Amino acid sequence: MKIAIVGLGYVGLPLSLQFARSGVTVLGLDVDRAKVESLNSGRSYIKHIKSEDIARAVQAGTFSASTDFKRVKKVEAVIICVPTPLNRNREPDISFIIETGKSIAPHLSKGTLVVLESTTYPGTTDGELREVLEAGSSMKAGVDFHLAFSPEREDPGNTQSKVAMIPKVIGGYTPACLERTKTVYGRAIKTLVPVSSCRAAEATKLLENIFRSVNIALVNELKLVYGAMGIDVWEVIQAAKTKPFGYMAFYPGPGLGGHCIPIDPFYLTWKAREFGQHTRFIELAGEINTAMPAHVVNRAAEALNAQKKSVNGSRVLLLGLAYKPNVDDDRESPTYELMDLFKQRGAEVAYYDPFVPVIRMTREHPHWAQTRSVKWDRKTIRRFDVVVIATNHQSVNYQELADWAVCIVDTRNQMAGLKSKPGQVWKA
């Protein structure tokens, strides 16, 4: 079997390697020439993906990368793993899906399977994508080629998360499309979870991340409420999670990050308006979560005020740029929002992240491109008026931070139990 995977990022690359390990010949397609050259040389550009794994697949001939989309004419399946961001109005942007469809459509062979993995609203696969593929190929989905949706469930940084072992939801445009999708994914994934349609599969992905968004919003709101009462929300969560039924622990933070949780809920809220439905609960959760960076900045202002300093003119260090611990993935990281807010209030802003030594060009925050992480040493840390812990990387020595920093604003409860000076640590 030979397949093509379009989009060689945090989803497409690990999926490519899993198929390659399973004896499938994989053609990785991406518009980024630098990525393609790096992969064909056996080099990884993602922290948790080892270069030796890529080199092994390239040397075995089971994986190669290219920018030539014409090569899809020689594959049996095309899996699309491209970004689906929000635009400036927080509306779905499926332009990457549409452009990919236009690129592959003229080169599809009869009987080819096309699977979309990018998170989107129900109706994208059998609607917009199908129309683009049919127009560009002069073939009919479900008749001349197969079409399906299978949501990605990649969990960067989780060493226990293995692509082959994560159950894979799949929904076909027709029963025959579903059967073909089973055959393809069955080569690499242990457990398949078939659903009745592409739309059911699309809705499944949204439910998974809306569930997380709403619950994170709940604990973020309770953090503010309990804080006003003098109650430590982290202590409350630790106690509540001892209940063996009916409770699942979620944790507050400085905002939401990653390509899924901050974005996916808005794909459903936007689509729901088409049906005259208003997702008030989901939208409220979004409002709470997007308000958290401003809360953190205000808390830092209180900490600086206690030192008889203002935010304006202060030196602020953000600890952690990645959106989650122990990865180099900075997509939609709330740290960017924190950096912007501090800068707007006149602060001198810097960041430290051992996983992100330099900020690459980002669509949302191009003004921070090429900014470099500061060094981790006493002299560097001591020159900042306040250090805000935004991401709780395990490799950071937080006791050293307590020994070196003048003032710390902790959004992740990392300083609990460590030796610190009175008034040095502020929870946010």
Q: Could you give the residue numbers annotated as active site?
A: 260
The single-letter DSSP state of residue 426 is E
Single-letter amino acid, residue 187: R
Closest CA to 323 of 10, 96, 43: 10
Residue 143 and residue 115 in contact, taking contact as beta carbons nearer than 8 Å: no
Closest CA to 90 of 263, 293, 279: 263
* Three-state SS at 410: strand
CA 314 to chain centre: 31
Name residue, tokens 């683009």: 132
- CA separation for the pair 78, 28 (Å, rounded): 10
- CA separation for the pair 373, 380 (Å, rounded): 11
Structure tokens at 234: 């982290």
Single-letter amino acid, residue 207: L
Closest CA to 151 of 173, 121, 179, 180: 121
Q: Describe the crossing of helices 95-104 and 130-137 by its angle, rounded to 10 degrees.
A: 20
Beta strand segments in 95-226, E: 113-116, 146-149, 168-172, 192-195
